[in-house]
Structure 1
Amino acid sequence: MTQASPAGANARGRARREALLTAVTADLAANGLVDFSMRRAARAAGTTHKVLIYHFQTSELLLEEAMRRLRMRRIEGALTGAGAGGTLAERVRALWPSLAADDTGLRVIDQAIGLAMYDPQRYVHLAADASDLYVGPLVSLCPPDWRAERKRQVAEMVMATMRGFLMEWRTTRDESRIEAGLAALTRALDSEEARADHE
């Protein structure tokens, strides 16, 4: 019998890990965070919690990877909506429909932020890298001739503002407040872009 090469074994291990992460991410998207555990994840993935520990070490690390995958799905969808043309304000404004969509599979992301605020000691790891994941793509929407520092500052402002809009939308469904906020954000971004043009 021919023994598998280490490279082949590594490829199989990566494929198995990817399949497990995909299954756990799908369960998380469907059922949320509240009663998440390694045993629940194992049931969803059709394996044992020991296998998940082998591949991911802890439930926290598994959860972080699954949440990162869901956030990247949201970011990719939003950036597709933003398109490549128009002013910065127009591109940022175009992010909103994708962010606010009632995609139950992505609402767990908002749940993670809420839990991190409610119980930071237990859930802070769920929000730890969220800001960095969002800021990079938002920087890419800024005019290419802006200084890196200005791009970062504007991206941070947009991220914090959109997060606030999203919390408002999820809790009140008050379209008039969101529209007023988006109009103010649009004016601020137009002003920032005009100021940059004259520097």
Structure 2
Amino acid sequence: MNTSADDGSPERAGYRRSAGTPRGEARRRELLDRVTEDLAVNGLVDFSLRRAARAAGTTHKVLLYHFDGVDDLLRQAVLKLRERRTVSAMAAATGGPAGRTLADRVRAMWSMLSGDEPGLRVLDEAIGLAMYDPGRFGWLGREASQLYLPSLVSLCPVDWSDRRKLEVAEMILGALRGFLVESRTSGDAAGIAAGFEALVRALEREEAAAGQDD
């Protein structure tokens, strides 16, 4: 990812941000949509304000009018992709027949998350960037957790305690994130599948134990 100083910021370049008028907000959404689609297709490598401007069909000065520099633009685009991913994952997890177990729901979610649709890979790249430079990009990982955890908590049985829901949601998030990173790095499909089945069995045991505690 190109984060050189020539990407600028509104303060340094002397531009002002959109004032939030309906017309300005509509234009901002249009630009963000175009940049997000470019990010989904081409990933984080060499992402810069100038590349974003080309994708949006405008100039970097116009982008600096609407966004607080390249980091803000990246944050907004990644958030947009994550929201799409969360909606798709939750639709997969909550669809189907009633009475599905948590393990069933996580299996359906994983089937969607492990695909190779545009936008999925770049979100996994974002976690790698957060690990590479946590001082600048740690928010890529933190914001992912803040977005996904409530959704995972909502998949847990309603009669579980809040603490149990959070603990299990954290386990699911950590495991699935690890599997995704592994799939993008080693490509060990057999090993990932084995690990996922172990996660499913752990969830089945957790549900069985919770039932015995009632």
Query: Is TM (by shorter chain) over 0.5?
Result: yes
- The answer as to 2:68 corresponding to 1:60 is no
Q: 1:167 aligns with which of 164, 178, 181?
A: 181
- The answer as to 2:195 corresponding to 1:184 is no
**Cα-to-partner distance string for 1:57-110 (whole Å, 9 max, x where unaligned):** 121111111001111111222222223441011111111111110113321111
- The residue aligned with 1:4 is none
- The answer as to 2:62 corresponding to 1:51 is yes
Structure 1, 58-67 or 172-181: larger mean CA deviation:
172-181
Aligned residues: 191
Q: Distance in 2 between matches of 1:188 and 1:104?
A: 31
How far did residue 156 of structure 1 move? Answer: 0.8
Q: Distance in 2 between matches of 1:48 and 1:195?
A: 58
Q: Distance in 1 between matches of 2:172 and 2:139?
A: 22
Q: TM-score, normalised by structure 1?
A: 0.89
- The residue aligned with 1:196 is 210
- The answer as to 2:87 corresponding to 1:73 is no
- The residue aligned with 1:98 is 112
Aligned-residue Cα RMSD (Å) equals: 1.6
- The residue aligned with 1:6 is none
- The residue aligned with 1:158 is 172
- The residue aligned with 2:4 is none
- The secondary structure found in structure 1 opposite 2:158 is coil
**Cα-to-partner distance string for 1:138-185 (whole Å, 9 max, x where unaligned):** 111101121222111111110000011111222233232122112211
Structure 2 gap ranges (5+): 1-19
Cα contact 2:113–2:120 (8 A) shared by 1: no
Q: Which amino acid aligns with 1:44?
A: A
- The residue aligned with 1:10 is 21
- The secondary structure found in structure 2 opposite 1:129 is helix
Q: Distance in 1 between matches of 2:40 and 2:199?
A: 30
What does 1:8-157 correspond to in 2, within 5 Å?
Answer: 10-84=21-95, 85=98, 86-157=100-171
